[in-house]
């Protein structure tokens, strides 16, 4: 009969903290074990990636990378929130991705590009792990399952972009705002936010740009949702009063 050591995390499919790094620079647990993308990898694959993991912390409003810079890294969010955007000729930002859930990837769509196609900026103080592209490619050659995981990540990112474009093209302003608040609610628990309170770190200008409406139209739509008893609003976010109504409005019904 096989004896299982309950103190050996690997018995349960958990890689645990980077075992090859000094204790003072290890995280308490590894994002590889909880990330939507990496948690199902084998122990061998996780520990191979751990060898190349590096920790990075950035402050609110600090750029993680800028559009046009050499694309050298894949980032994994540990904490905080990051916006990914393109700068238009007018100088406005078109936000096309919000990275808020620990374990989500940043710049996966640029892995096979020479330059970053967008910019990434912290909406709050954030911590991330990152992998150098060269190290990641070596791991992909060693473990095919890592390649499959990154293909899944790219597919999910593409589907997210398609959904965003569809929202801009087919929904009116009120429907777009309702859809956004529903999105905040859907990611609420994954981001470990307060019960019933949905924090929104985007300014009204940023949110208007992301949803493709004017700031005045955005504010009017938010106030309409409040007057109809769907939400309460304050300077930092929203409280949902009628989720079903928001979902119906967001769906265009």
End-to-end CA distance of the chain: 60
8 A C-beta contact, residue 131 and residue 73: yes
Task: Give me the pLDDT at residue 129, please.
Answer: 93
Task: Say if residue 2's pLDDT is above 50.
Answer: no
Instruction: Please write the tens of the pLDDT for every residue from 151-188.
Output: 877 777 777 766 766 666 678 999 989 988 888 887 76
Q: How confident is the model at residue 90 (pLDDT cuts 50, 70, 90)?
A: confident
Q: How confident is the model at residue 3 (pLDDT cuts 50, 70, 90)?
A: very low
Q: What is the mean pLDDT of residues 60-71?
A: 94
Cα separation of 84 and 50, whole Å?
25
Task: Give me the pLDDT at residue 167, please.
Answer: 67
Cα separation of 139 and 87, whole Å?
33
Q: What is the mean pLDDT of residues 123-130?
A: 94
Q: State the span(s) of the chain assigned CATH 2.60.120.10.
A: 9-163
User: Which residues have a Cβ under 8 Å from the Cβ of 6 and sit 6 or more positions away?
Assistant: none
Q: State the span(s) of the chain assigned CATH 1.10.10.10.
A: 171-250
Task: Give me the pLDDT at residue 6, please.
Answer: 37
Q: 89 or 156: whose pLDDT is higher?
A: 89
Q: What is the mean pLDDT of residues 95-104?
A: 87
Domain 171-250 of CATH type 1.10.645.10? no
Task: Say if residue 143's pLDDT is above 70.
Answer: yes
8 A C-beta contact, residue 188 and residue 198: yes
Task: Say if residue 1's pLDDT is above 50.
Answer: no
- The mean of the pLDDT values for the chain is 84
Q: What is the mean pLDDT of residues 87-116?
A: 86
Q: What is the mean pLDDT of residues 87-109?
A: 85
Task: Say if residue 9's pLDDT is above 60.
Answer: no
Query: To which H or E segment does residue 86 belong?
Result: strand 82-87
Q: 184 or 214: whose pLDDT is higher?
A: 214
CATH superfamily ID and name for 9-163: Jelly Rolls (2.60.120.10)
Stretch among 12-21, 111-120, 188-197 having the lowest mean pLDDT:
188-197
């Amino acid at each position: 009969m096989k004896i299982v050591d309950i103190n050996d995390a690997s018995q349960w499919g958990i890689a645990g903290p980077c075992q090859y790094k000094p204790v003072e620079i290890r995280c308490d647990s590894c994002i590889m074990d909880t990330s939507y993308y990496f948690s199902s990898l084998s122990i061998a694959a996780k520990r191979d990636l751990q060898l190349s993991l590096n920790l990075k912390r950035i402050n609110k409003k600090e750029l993680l990378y800028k559009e046009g810079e050499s694309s050298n890294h894949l980032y994994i969010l540990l904490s905080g929130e990051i916006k990914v955007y393109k700068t238009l000729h007018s100088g406005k930002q078109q936000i096309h991705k919000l990275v808020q859930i620990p374990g989500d990837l940043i710049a996966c769509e640029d892995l096979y590009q020479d330059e970053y196609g967008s910019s990434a900026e912290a909406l709050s103080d954030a911590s991330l792990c990152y992998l150098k592209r060269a190290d990641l490619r070596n791991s992909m050659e060693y473990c095919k399952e890592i390649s499959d995981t990154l293909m899944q990540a790219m597919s999910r990112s593409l589907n997210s972009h398609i959904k965003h474009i569809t929202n801009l093209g087919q929904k009116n302003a009120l429907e777009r705002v309702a859809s956004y608040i529903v999105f905040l609610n859907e990611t609420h628990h994954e981001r470990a936010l307060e019960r019933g309170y949905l924090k929104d770190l985007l300014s009204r200008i940023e949110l208007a740009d992301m949803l493709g409406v004017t700031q005045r139209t955005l504010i009017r739509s938010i106030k309409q949702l409040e007057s109809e008893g769907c939400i309460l609003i304050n300077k930092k976010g929203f409280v949902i009063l009628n989720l079903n109504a928001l979902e119906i409005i967001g769906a265009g019904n």
